[in-house]
Amino acid sequence: MRLEKGVISSSQLMFLVTGLIQGSALTVAFITKIAKQDIWLVVLSGLVISLFLALIYISLAQKFPSKNLIQINDIIYGPYVGKLISALYLYFFLLIIPANLRFIGDFSLTYLMPETPMSVILIMFMFICAWAVRKGIEVIARTSIILVVITIIISLFTFVLLLKDMQLTNFLPILELSLKDYIQSTHIMMAIPFGEVLVFFMVIPYVNNIKQAKSSVLLGLIIGGLTILSVTVKFIAVLGITSTIMTSPYFEAVRLIDIAGIITRLEILVAIGLLITVFLKVSIFYYATVLGIAQLLNLRSYLPLVLPIGIICISLSFFLYASPVEEVESAVSIWPIWSIPFELLFPLSSLLIAKIRRLPKKQGG
């Protein structure tokens, strides 16, 4: 019994992965305080490590074609332990949605619409996401192409316009990071934007050509990583060490664009890019959560769960963090550790157990 009838192509998968990574482009601000001007180095090393993580995920997904994470857990760990691990995974996915919603809400309250209540913004945002999820993965995949291309164009455009404000001396002193800070910031980088590729366990089964899934996920990761790299290079080159005291350094850097007093106030482009990529990210996680719950409870359709889960996410986003400061604190010191079992230990042990038990067993053999 397939819950999802849609099929996506491997190039659409690539755009989805890119969109997911780009959705975290502004959360790099979490590690500016730790990594300072060496942040681009941290982004690169996080990207390289996460390529290996993605290889683990893909080889696991290719071992069990047309099975999603919940079914894989059921096969590998047996029905009871598998269900427990799946439930933990769903909790993990579920908490990422309100965190991103809260990020959007705080961002628009700070920079765009200070007088509007956060609930209005979040409800409108979540309504669109719920709509997309109800239409299925095919629709999300098709929108992803347009949205990702827009984001890449915005990124290149602001890069070109900021060239005259960039000072390469802002990157000095280079490699001044202590080992502990370096490890911590790489870990945060790995856990928050890149490790979230994990969610594609729920999407890869619906790719029409599973053989090409590997190259498209890796390519998507690299393109998304390069976008994040360009973001960090931009704000470090323009703002230098000042960026460590700002909540959203990329936004502040783009604010400085001023071409002859005519082309100004381009920071709204950054906000648009943020909104559309976070829409993609939230939709993918939302879809994975809803589909996972439907799979776990053996339902025939995931559609009835979309609205209740959406309301729960909006409600959670209000009391998840008391303040943006707490959000950064949690993202920096707690969340990376909390994500280790999900992003590293469970997939690795699943792969090992599948090897030892010689899974998947041949039908009728």
Partner 1 sequence: MIFLLILVFIVIGLIEVPVLIRNKHWRELIAFSFFLLVAFIMTLLQTLGVKLPSPLNSINYLIKDILHLNYG
To the nearest whole angstrom, how small is the minimum distance from the Cβ of residue 342 to partner 1? 12
Query: Among residues 218 and 316, whose Cβ is nearest to partner 1?
Result: 316
With b for 16 or more beta-carbon neighbours within 10 A and e for fewer, the 302-336 pattern comes to beebbeebbeebbebbeebbeeeeebbeebbeebb
| Among 74-82, 107-115, 240-248, 297-305, the segment contacting partner 1 (CB under 8 A) | 297-305
Q: Is residue 79 close enough to count as binding partner 1 by CB under 8 A?
A: no
* Cβ atoms 309, 316 nearer than 8 A: no
Determine which residue in the list 5, 114, 169, 319 makes contact with partner 1, applying CB under 8 A: 319
To the nearest whole angstrom, how small is the minimum distance from the Cβ of residue 290 to partner 1? 10
Q: Is residue 334 close enough to count as binding partner 1 by CB under 8 A?
A: yes
Cα 18 to Cα 138: distance, rounded to the nearest angstrom: 16
Query: Among residues 178 and 363, whose Cβ is nearest to partner 1?
Result: 178
Determine which residue in the list 333, 345, 353, 357 makes contact with partner 1, applying CB under 8 A: 333
Query: Among residues 91 and 110, whose Cβ is nearest to partner 1?
Result: 91
**267-296 and 306-319 are packed helices; what angle lies between their axes, rounded to 10 degrees?**
120
Cα–Cα distances in angstroms (integers) from residue 340 to residues 111, 151, 199, 336, in the given order = 33, 30, 14, 7
**Eight-state DSSP code of residue 27:** G
| Among 158-166, 206-214, 240-248, 328-336, the segment contacting partner 1 (CB under 8 A) | 328-336
* Cβ atoms 241, 166 nearer than 8 A: no
* Burial (CB count <10 Å: 0-12, 13-18, 19+), residue 228: buried
Rg over CA atoms, the chain: 20
Q: Is residue 268 close enough to count as binding partner 1 by CB under 8 A?
A: no
The residues near 226 (Cβ < 8 Å, ≥ 6 apart) are none
Cα 330 to Cα 26: distance, rounded to the nearest angstrom: 16
Determine which residue in the list 7, 49, 51, 95 makes contact with partner 1, applying CB under 8 A: 95
Q: Is residue 351 close enough to count as binding partner 1 by CB under 8 A?
A: no
First to last CA, the chain: 23
Query: Among residues 191 and 354, whose Cβ is nearest to partner 1?
Result: 191
Determine which residue in the list 318, 344, 359, 360 makes contact with partner 1, applying CB under 8 A: 318
What binding mask, one character per residue, do residues 184-203 give for partner 1 by CB under 8 A, x or -?
Answer: x-------------------
Q: Is residue 308 close enough to count as binding partner 1 by CB under 8 A?
A: yes
Query: Among residues 58 and 126, whose Cβ is nearest to partner 1?
Result: 126
- Of 280, 18, 317, 232, nearest to 132 by C-alpha is 280
DSSP string across 149-182: HHHHHHHHHHHHHHGGG--GGGGPSTT---HHHH
Query: Among residues 80 and 319, whose Cβ is nearest to partner 1?
Result: 319
Q: Is residue 131 close enough to count as binding partner 1 by CB under 8 A?
A: no
| Among 15-23, 234-242, 319-327, 346-354, the segment contacting partner 1 (CB under 8 A) | 319-327
Query: Among residues 86 and 277, whose Cβ is nearest to partner 1?
Result: 86
Two structure tokens written together for 7? 């099929």
Q: Is residue 169 close enough to count as binding partner 1 by CB under 8 A?
A: no
Determine which residue in the list 208, 209, 264, 315 makes contact with partner 1, applying CB under 8 A: 315
To the nearest whole angstrom, how small is the minimum distance from the Cβ of residue 40 to partner 1? 21
- Report residue 248: phi and psi, to 5°: -140, 75
The residues near 127 (Cβ < 8 Å, ≥ 6 apart) are 310
Give me the residues that bind partner 1 (CB under 8 A), please.
Answer: 95, 184, 293-294, 297-301, 303-305, 307-309, 311-312, 315-316, 318-322, 330, 332-334, 336-338
